[in-house]
Structure 1
């Protein structure tokens, strides 16, 4: 069954035992991840999570089905999360087909496949499966973001004025994951709830310092990708006392890298860098950063970097090491790589 991204959580929760495999695909990487996080939230505390990647399935296509139908060490419920980076979905087709054709019921499988289209043979396979569920995640328009943010506010007990909704959308570049974080922050500050609704005006963002945090995150990302190791080290040290969200930074960085990869592909097709960065889709304040980074990063290296950042979020959830340590190591590694390529 194929549904719209905004409907998949409701559809899945209406019949959680009816879907053996749920897959999020499409160009919006952060939306894919956010929706899978939302889907597994109700079961994450009561079932064991098993993370798989394409390397776990390449030599053993039955591994996915085996994991879904096997019993955990203590007989607890489990859920499987399979992450497929760009270009890996085709290689996972045999494993997913084996799972969907299995006669043995098992634990639910959630697949994050950013970059995969919803018209592929694999997408059709899942759409036609009675226990398969798939949704493509496209980039969010300003109008869609505004409507979604208003809905988030109502769910949190907030009456957001129109200007504030637009400010949140602009601040987060229409990223609904980041927008939800801002809305939740406002609700917490105002002690709002559906039972005790509160009004929120445009000055609340400045009051909470959301813009400053966004600027700090943007500086860290651009310093790393541009090879500015010295300033990056200083900003990392300063950010420790400011409590920046590591996951929030990762998701902003993924959006930035996706945009950078899109611009790099235009350069590869013959467009010069100066013309590319002056495209209307590039905010004028960001042009210098994109100009520098397009001179440093090739399409191949950007693809690898996106995979590394996606893997970093998995490590944060499973390695046991502090998130800020893992993030600092990765940013400094990226910065040193960029510095050598300048």
Structure 2
């Protein structure tokens, strides 16, 4: 039987005891580990129980080929079902697992974690065809899966994120389930004991790459005309070894969106509609509105020219990159401050 990862929680809630061998495989190793562990804990409660839970590496079977068969046929000394988890399996483990499929397992359950093997691989096909085998492909999270994970982890912590925060999380969390869960749990821990509402600043302080955030800080200060903030963020970022070209290109990307938005508004669209049609993410829309203000598309075209000229100079003149970048961004910040 093939059991979709999205339906696994429902399966666990009313697990059919008929299925005794489970295979989790696919490119999302975090999801493989998460579902495997959830199944094991639902049966033995504690993975520290040496009588009911046996953890094995597939590589160990080369030295002791009979061990897997011995473990799945052993009887629990304390009663209850035993779980044998085999980690790091690949198609090479097929020969060790195949004899288990011929047994009538009543006291043990075999849980197999495999890597990114194909759905039509020998190991997957063998377990899928077994009368009491179940296979679960684990692919990287899609947008809807990430949304469900956000609601699950933050809901468990009694946190009620705003739409703005949810959109930010969807944009900034990766596709690996284990990493995303870890980031969300870190955020929940940060908010523990707080009585005030969670803010976007709280989320930005805890989610994602801090070096990426430093670039966003520089870009935001540039486009808002915040000269003091820009000086502070540039000094901090350059001290950390950030790239001048990276700042210029990120500023260019944001300027292109603002230019498109301003052009739509210049053509008669309402500001809110122009921002939405330009494809600016919801969590950035308020900030974008402040950055645009009453400026025309021509203003942003001029700012774009400044950044592109600075990038060319960084690559061709031999002058210090930091000085060229700093001067260009300061020019743009001054221009934005005047309007």
1:15 corresponding residue in structure 2: 15
Q: Which runs of 5+ in 2 are unaligned?
A: 214-339
Write the deviation string for residues 260-295 of structure 1: whole angstroms up to 9, x where unpaired: xxxxxxxxxxxxxxxxxxxxxxxxxxxxxxxxxxxx
SS in 1 for 2:200: coil
In the superposition, the TM-score normalised over structure 1's length comes to 0.52
Q: 8 Å contact 1:68–1:80 — kept in the other structure?
A: yes
1:65 corresponding residue in structure 2: 69
Q: Which runs of 5+ in 1 are unaligned?
A: 216-342
1:296 corresponding residue in structure 2: none
1:164 matched to 2:162: no
1:122 corresponding residue in structure 2: 123
Supply the distance in 1 between the matched residues of 2:72 and 2:211 (Cα, whole angstroms): 40
Write the deviation string for residues 246-270 of structure 1: whole angstroms up to 9, x where unpaired: xxxxxxxxxxxxxxxxxxxxxxxxx
Instruction: Give the alignment's Cα RMSD to 1 decimal.
Output: 3.5
Write the deviation string for residues 217-259 of structure 1: whole angstroms up to 9, x where unpaired: xxxxxxxxxxxxxxxxxxxxxxxxxxxxxxxxxxxxxxxxxxx
The 3 A distance-change label for structure 1 pair 3 and 164 is same
Match of 1:82 among 82, 86, 98: 86
Supply the distance in 2 between the matched residues of 1:77 and 1:151 (Cα, whole angstroms): 29
Following superposition of structure 1 onto structure 2, how do residues 1-342 of structure 1 map, counting pairs within 5 Å?
Answer: 1-15=1-15, 17-42=17-42, 43-45=44-46, 47-48=49-50, 49-58=53-62, 61-71=65-75, 78-84=82-88, 89-191=90-192, 200-208=198-206, 211-212=209-210
The 3 A distance-change label for structure 1 pair 209 and 80 is same
Write the deviation string for residues 92-146 of structure 1: whole angstroms up to 9, x where unpaired: 2122221122024232221110111222232222222232121111122345323
User: Cα offset for 1:190?
Assistant: 3.7
Instruction: Please say which of residues 40-49 and 110-119 is displaced more in the overlay.
Output: 40-49
Q: How many residues align?
A: 210
Q: 8 Å contact 2:147–2:170 — kept in the other structure?
A: yes
